[in-house]
Homo-oligomer: A and B are copies of this chain.
Amino acid sequence: MSSAAPTGFARLFNPRGIAVVGASGDPQRIGGQPVGILRDTGYRGAIYPVNPKYGEINGLRCYPDVMSVPQPCDLALIAVNATLVPQVLADCGKAGIAHAVVFSAGFRETGEDGARLESQIKAAARNHGVRFIGPNCIGVMNLKERVYCGFGPGFANADLKSGPVAFVSQSGGFAFSVVALADFEGISFNYIVSTGNEADISTLDLIADFLERDDVEVVVTYIEGITDGRRLREIGRRALEIGKPILVWKVGNSDIGRAAAESHTASMTASYTLYRTAFNEGGFIEIDDVHDLVDAARAFMSRRLPRGPNVAVITTSGGSGVMIADACDRHGLRMPRLAPATISAIERVAPKYSTLSNPVDLTAQISANSRDFNHIVGLMLADPNVDQLIIRYGGVQGKKGEEWANSLATITDATDKPVLVAWSRVPDPNEASMQLLEKKRIPWLLTPTRAANAAGALYAFSRKRAAHLARARREFTRTLAPQALDFLQQPRILSEHQSKRRLAQYGIPVAREVVMSLAEIERMSAAPLPFPVAVKIDSPDIPHKTEAGAVRLNVGDLNALKAAARQVVGSALDTKPGARVNGVLISEMAQGVEAIVGAVDDRFFGPVVMFGLGGIHAEIFKDVSYRFAPFDLAIAHEMIREIRAHPLLTGHRGKPALALDALAMTLSRVSLLIADHAGRIAEIDINPLFINDKSVSAADALIVLKAAPAS
């Protein structure tokens, strides 16, 4: 299913009739709640309790089974014992009820028996044409149409407002407390889904669907783990394409958090590094608490994106300007000087002792004069050096606040630059003004730092969107045509020489080398390569050559070469008796800065390439960058620029700049190699890759294959 197409859940969220299967008169039971909740919260369609034990529930006629429910009925809420769910889903299909929400627990989350039962409900639903949410979820809400399909305190709150945000959550109970807090801070939702075990409809299905809805401007998702990383990336691209952000609250990222998540959802999760790679690439904005959610949602609801990183700040208090500057710095935003013409125009009206650098501090002197304040706002918005504006206007309150907000709305109407208001008052005394800003989609944020964070989110999305659209306009340029590689006769771990041959076939520079038998070397009267050389064992059974004592570096003459060859064979066979030995590898000693290039075919996300410098950089400082494969030179250069050690590559302390074009070409070709042969290659490890001022050269390499496909 493509994320570009709505997934056809219209009737799931807007059902003409709802069957409540396992309905009960006892509100302590899960099945005892949905009928009352639907009625009390304003559902306008027909409600059909289903339970063979009752004739009537909550004053409604109760049906013995779903087949006897009148049509149209588009949705079944299922709260029966887990073992009965397969039959109920089959019955739904027979009765023409195309969607279900399964509250029942006792499936995969409880162990093997439960997992078997979960397979059964999947099969039953598939065989009978039913799509369902859950099991083990707490429900689905369409707040706009007042369809509250669920149980528990979250569904008892009939006062929740609706708004153009959708929330897809892998946590049920917690999601509704987030909703309550966000609603309290002024962010409301049109759709909320607790996805439970996701046996059928997944978090990603729902995000893809919500992205395409006109009544959703921002999608929020709380994720503990997903299994289809490729689809996540596809959805991220779609979000950029249509300019609709996905606020993603990913938990379980630390070791202890991940362990807790796996014990909670009973599913293995990919490493956070790959999630982050996908989030950075696509239309995602990471959040990690409710205030982040509120601030980012409000900022995006302005429907404005900055064209660049430049932020201007106007305040009546120097302190908040300082704070905003610190936060802008964290988000990679810039605070440039204003244009000279802007400064002189401001000077004409600004109070004495104002600071006219950016942040502009007009001091408390201007508090009573919102007309001059807004005049300066207009001047700053017109400045070509300004991509977005953060306002903190300390003194204004009550009626005066309303006048000011009204006038601000007129000014912002005349521009398409984002304008963010840091309004540190508690809501009450300024409620009318704040509502006015909300109506005009001018975001207000409770503190200066939160305003800067919101500006950072807008810029991040805008930057990624521009890059995505630019990429979409040009063809993806392969840096090499696909090459056929022969893997069939190979063992699963290729020897160094075998690995390097495959790299060379993909145009990746490798050190010059030969493989010879020990006997050939003993007979040798002249070296095959200029000294010094490296001497190593070449064996598919000894991937860790150094640890096996099977490497000699900087070998300087013929006698030393012969001795080294004897030693590495001896050590290798001592370490691993019976190892298959292809011969002794003699290779030139490459020079330069040591880098590491790795690639794996991740089972969740597919092929991905990693780049970093050698030694401690990758291992201890984790100073590495990742991109999904395949990619072109532009992305490869991004990867190179992204590591913190980047200054070491560009002519650090008078050293020559390194051959970064050759490096980028190598990264791109590694990405093609793993992407073209992802069916066979599990892992590529080039360590080290030497980079000098003229070229790059793979000095050691290892390719690990997947188990050979059954022929």
Contacts and interface: CB of A to CB of B under 8 A. Distances in A.
A34 to B, nearest CB: 15
Interface in A149-174: 152-153, 169-174
A394 B153 CA distance: 9
Nearest to A613: B616
A322 interface: yes
A222 interface: yes
B424 A328 contact: no
Contact of A395 (B153, B184, B255, B645): B153
B181 A395 contact: no
Interface in A446-477: 446-450
A394 B620 contact: no
A325 B424 contact: no
Contacts of A316: 173
B173 A264 contact: no
A711 interface: no
A695 interface: no
A260 B326 CA distance: 9
A254 interface: yes
A407 interface: no
Most buried by B among A224, A256, A394: A256
Interface in A111-158: 138, 152-153
Interface stretch (A275-283, A285-293, A665-673): A285-293
A177 B394 contact: yes
A362 B491 CA distance: 49
Contacts of A252: 322, 325-326
Contacts of A645: 616, 620-621
Interface stretch (A351-359, A479-487, A573-581): A351-359
A616 to B, nearest CB: 6
Contacts of A335: 256
B260 A172 contact: no
A357 B264 CA distance: 10
A308 interface: no
Contacts of A446: 181, 290
Given A325-B256, A424-B180, A289 B320 contact: no
A222 to B, nearest CB: 7
Contacts of A638: none
Contacts of A14: none
A621 B618 CA distance: 13
Nearest to A225: B322
A318 B355 contact: no
A319 B170 contact: yes
A303 interface: no
A621 B323 CA distance: 25
A599 to B, nearest CB: 23
A397 interface: yes
- This chain's copy number in the assembly: 2
A318 B265 contact: yes
A375 interface: no
Contact of A322 (B138, B264, B616, B652): B264
Given A252-B322, A260-B359, A357-B263, A181 B426 contact: yes
A260 B224 contact: no
Contact of A171 (B320, B450, B648): B320
A648 B288 CA distance: 33
Nearest to A291: B291
Given A254-B330, A447-B289, A321 B620 contact: no
A397 B318 CA distance: 43
Given A177-B424, A224-B322, A257-B325, A368 B644 contact: no
Contact of A174 (B153, B174, B180, B394): B394
A252 B329 CA distance: 11
A109 interface: yes
Interface string A663-693: 0000000000000000000000000000000
Interface string A360-391: 01001001100000000000000000000000
A183 B335 CA distance: 32
A489 interface: no
Contacts of A224: 318-319, 322
A70 interface: no
Given A184-B426, A251-B323, A447 B290 contact: yes
Contacts of A52: none
Contacts of A319: 169-175, 222, 224, 251, 264
A158 to B, nearest CB: 13
Contacts of A620: 644-645, 647-648
The list of the 6 closest CB pairs from A to B, nearest first, reads: A171-B319, A264-B318, A177-B424, A254-B329, A257-B326, A173-B317
11 contacts: A109-B353, A173-B317, A174-B320, A175-B319, A181-B446, A224-B318, A251-B322, A252-B322, A263-B355, A289-B450, A621-B623
